[in-house]
Every structure is written in structure tokens, then in C-alpha cells.
Amino acid sequence: MADFIPGMPGEVMQDLQQHKEKQKEEMIKTIESLDDITFFSWGYTPPLKLTRGERIEYVKIKIKSVGVGQVIEEYQHKLPTPPATMKTYKADSDVARNLNQRHPVVVWEINEADPDYLRMKQKHETEASQMILLHGLAYNLKGDNGEIVLHGEELNEPSRVINPQAALARLAKMGFSSNHFGQIVKAVRELTDEVEKKEDLES
């Protein structure tokens, strides 16, 4: 639709022109004034593809970073360590020579292929990802019994995860797969990194 119509009164055309100039000026001010830009600690995931029977939907999930950094730090402290065995090597061994030693040396050898360690590591990584996922969702979530299992809709407050397994089960019933969980966790981590970098620059 044209801004100016043939036969339009001059004063109306003038008012429209002034309005357009004002809009242009406001737009320029908005772009040039960096002080007006607000940095948010929440956002959305990239589009997630949900398949329900023959129906395909693309959805964006609202996510937040508040409290996520603490969750990541907590699980970093809980990271399991592989078993280590103390061994003694003779002075003429390759180990002693590599260490430039002319006498027997004692070293701790770490076994990162230990089956028990690998199981604990996998369990830890799974639990950490699940908690990052739940703390990063900006929603309240009800379980099958109708009770709240996740309080997360407050964007500026850390989420309260009441029942992690019930929350995850509910998400699965809504059509979210482990692949979706991975995409959401990735988006939450990236958002958290951006917020922490911004906070570091401002401190």
C-alpha cells in the first residue's frame, strides 16, 4: 500500500512525511545508542524438529542461564577419577630413561580404560546433562499426577528441580527425545557461556 495517494490534501501529506521522518530518526537513534541494548540471561533454542505420527512440528524452547553455572560447577567437583596403581621401574627401564633418571623410579599409572571408572563417568555425564537441561528450561512442568516437578518459569531465579526423573519422563511423553535433550543442553551451555563472558567484562 502506497504512503501517498493521488489527490491527498497537502497538509495530510506533510503530516505523513513528518511521521516517516520521525520514525526514521527514532530507528537511527535505536541503532546508534548502544546504551539502550539490554543483555538478557534467557533466550530460545534453535528450532527443534518434533515428529508425532505423520505430523512434523518445529518448536523453539525458552531457556535461561540463571543457576546453570552453579550446576555445572557442582558436577565438575563430582567428576569421578580413574583408578591409579603405584609401580616401580628399574633404573635401566624405558620409563626411567624417559624421565632422565639413573635410579629406580616410582610412578602412579592411571587406568582410564577401567570398566568401573567408565561406567561411573558415563553415569556422571548423563546426570550432569540432565540437570543442566532441567535447570535451563524456563517453564514449570507437571508430572503425570498433576503435581509440579519443575519450577522454572521465573527467568531471573534459579529453577527448582523437585523430581528430575518425573520431569524427564514428562518431556519424553511430550515427544522430546535424547537427541532433543542434547540440542537443548548445547543451547543452554552456549547461553550460559555468553552471559558469564558478559559478566566478566562488566566486573
Position 126 scores a pLDDT of 96
pLDDT tier for residue 21 given thresholds of 50, 70 and 90 = low
Q: What average pLDDT does range 17-28 have in this prediction?
A: 48
Angle at 184 between CA 176 and CA 127, to 5 degrees: 85
Query: What CA–CA distance (Å, rounded) separates 167 from 185?
Result: 15
pLDDT in tens, 93-128: 988 888 898 889 999 999 999 999 999 999 999 999
Residue of 140, 147, 185, 149 lying closest to 167 (CA atoms) = 149
pLDDT in tens, 25-50: 444 433 344 444 445 689 999 999 98
Name the more confident of 64 and 16. 64
At residue 2, does pLDDT exceed 50? no
